[in-house]
Amino acid sequence: MLKKCLAALIAFCLLAASFPAYAEEMERSAREELIDAIIETGHHLFTATNGKLQRAQKAGDIYVCKNFTVHVFRENASGFRMAAYPDAALRVPNNLPAEQCKPHAYGYCWEDVAAEDGNPFYIAAQFLYDSSETKQENMERAIEFMKQVQRGDYFQMSAEYYYGVGAHSAIMIADYDPDSNTVRWMDSNMVGEKRDGVRYGKVQFDAVKDISWWADAFCKKKRGATIYRLRDDIVRASETSEPHE
The stretch 64-81 carries a mean pLDDT of: 98
Predicted local confidence at residue 187, as pLDDT? 98
Q: Where are the domains of the chain?
A: 28-239
Q: For residue 14, what are the CA distances in angstroms to 9, 25, 59, 178?
A: 9, 17, 54, 38
Confidence check: pLDDT of 185 > 50: yes
Tell me the mean pLDDT in the region 128-154: 98
pTM over 0.85, yes/no: yes
Q: In Å, how far are 22, 171, 174 from 26, measured between CA atoms?
A: 6, 26, 22
